[in-house]
Amino acid sequence: MTHSLADGWFTEVFDQQGSAFSLKVKGKIDSAQSEFQSIDIYDTETFGKLMVIDGCTMVSTRENFVYHEMMSHVALFAHPAPKKVAIIGGGDCGTLREVLKHTGVEQVWQIDIDELVTRMSEKHFPELCESNDDPRANILFADGIQWIKDCEPESLDVIIIDSTDPVGPAEGLFAVDFYQDCFKALAPLGIVVQQSESPLYHSNSIIKKIHVDMAAAGASSSHTVPFPQVIYPSGWWSCTLASKGGDTTSFRIEDSAAKSFRTEYYNAEMHAAGLAIPEFMRRALGMAD
């Protein structure tokens, strides 16, 4: 998976699509292996620190804000009044930090299978972990699939599936069985949001399948929101929302416009903008001829 552009670069090769992205690095500054995956930390020249899991770029200091804000605020402002939130995966704690910016949120559970991700994030991305001691935060290291299965029915408002790619440990998070358990755990009007890969690379495959599977699991509506993510394959990424009885294309626009916290990417206009779908995607997803 990891080829070297030359000494002094980290490269992620995305074999399926014959593309690769590289960052110039000062060096690898940490490395560890859990029972699930290997984690490397690089110090880059212009992107700050870079976390790499099993050869795939996960988080950089410079531009993780887009992903974390879009994975959290879109779903939380789409829900009428989110109080109980679960994050499946998300061990770097960046999504947790964003969720906790919502003062109406009463409890958040973050369930990542791999404690090492969080330990590495605490060490190298302390800014992402700055809300970990919030009394509303429950940071658990367990199997998220089982945790959702064991959830009290109708006990959650938002479930955020902040996972790695649908291979290896995260494969079971892209499956209709898991989505059914999510919908059982969601209260009425609850929302599940999942990172859903690249609009250019995956509209006809992973993204399309998520919509089909979410509908099969009981979603009343689902919608994909594209956003740029420079270090991920193709530099263009997405999340997909699905609702239990509500509409994923509406949101609390006044609350979003009057939000009390600072963001770097998200705002009410960007939320509305994220709901627009390019023509080729509309065709791939059966939204246009």
Catalytic residue numbers, as ranges: 162
Under rule CB under 8 A, residue 47 binds a copy of itself: yes
Under rule CB under 8 A, residue 267 binds a copy of itself: yes
Nearest approach, Cβ of residue 233 and a copy of itself (Å)? 9
Under rule CB under 8 A, residue 94 binds a copy of itself: no
Residues in 138-197 that interact with a copy of itself by CB under 8 A: none
255 is in an annotated binding site: no
Closer Cβ to a copy of itself, 159 or 270, answer by number: 270
144 is in an annotated binding site: yes
Residues in 199-218 that interact with a copy of itself by CB under 8 A: 199-200
Total of residues contacting a copy of itself (CB under 8 A)? 48
| CA atoms lying within 13 Å on the CB side of residue 243 | 21
* Spatial contact of 95 and 162, defined as CB atoms under 8 Å apart: yes
38 is in an annotated binding site: no
Under rule CB under 8 A, residue 43 binds a copy of itself: no
19 is in an annotated binding site: no
Under rule CB under 8 A, residue 274 binds a copy of itself: yes
Binding residues for spermidine: 68, 92, 162-165
Write out the residues near a copy of itself by the rule CB under 8 A. 3, 5-6, 9, 11, 13, 17-24, 44-47, 62-63, 65-66, 199-200, 226, 228, 230, 234-236, 262-267, 269-270, 272-280, 282
Binding residues for S-methyl-5'-thioadenosine: 37, 112, 143-144, 169
